[in-house]
Amino acid sequence: MRACLSICAAACLAACANLPLAPKPQAPEPVAAASSDMTRPQARPDTLDTTARPAPPPPPPQARTAEQFDTTTAAERAEAASAPEEPAGERRLGQTVASLGDVARPGFWLETPLVSTATTGRVVYPATGKSAQVDLIPIDGPPTAGSRISLAAMRLIEAPLTDLPTIDVFTGG
């Protein structure tokens, strides 16, 4: 009797395996062509296209320390740190709280909602008085939202890498 029940249960389970539990997927319907009155979103530039200041090489895959991730040269750091004492035409955009950005992305940059288009500018860390010339890269968010700063720029202005420093942001000049 047990053997018969076991065989019947196994047969029932085997038969259930062949039942369709979900409908088979159908081919998607073709999408209608976009009309001329529809607008398409435009991507923001990831980086600023500058020929005057080429980006340093990316860090090596085995990089583990801030020195290894920061691939800028002493000359590049000196150039980024050089700022005129009275920048002509420079405009203060405001203050922002900055976190350390992608350490694998080389160069001097600040991703911030304080700009709507990519441009060049300068950041100042009031605690040290140090400044760095950076590429200002727009990100979505209100002007009061935080920003992300490159490792090289954060080291140049001598801001603690593990803090969220408040920095002044300028453009123009």
| String of DSSP letters for 32-63 | PPPPTT-----PPPSS---SSSPPPPPPPTT-
DSSP H or E segment with residue 13: helix 2-16
Per-residue pLDDT of the chain (173 residues; tens, 9 = 90+): 666 556 655 555 555 555 555 555 555 554 444 444 444 444 444 444 443 466 777 877 887 888 878 878 888 888 888 865 556 778 999 999 999 999 999 999 999 999 999 999 999 999 999 999 999 999 999 988 999 999 999 999 999 999 999 999 999 76
| CATH homologous superfamily for the domain 89-171 | RlpA-like domain (2.40.40.10)
Tell me the domain boundaries of the chain.
89-171
Please tell me the distance from the alpha carbon of residue 55 to that of residue 105, in angstroms, as a whole number.
9
User: How far is residue 28 CA from its own chain's centroid?
Assistant: 34
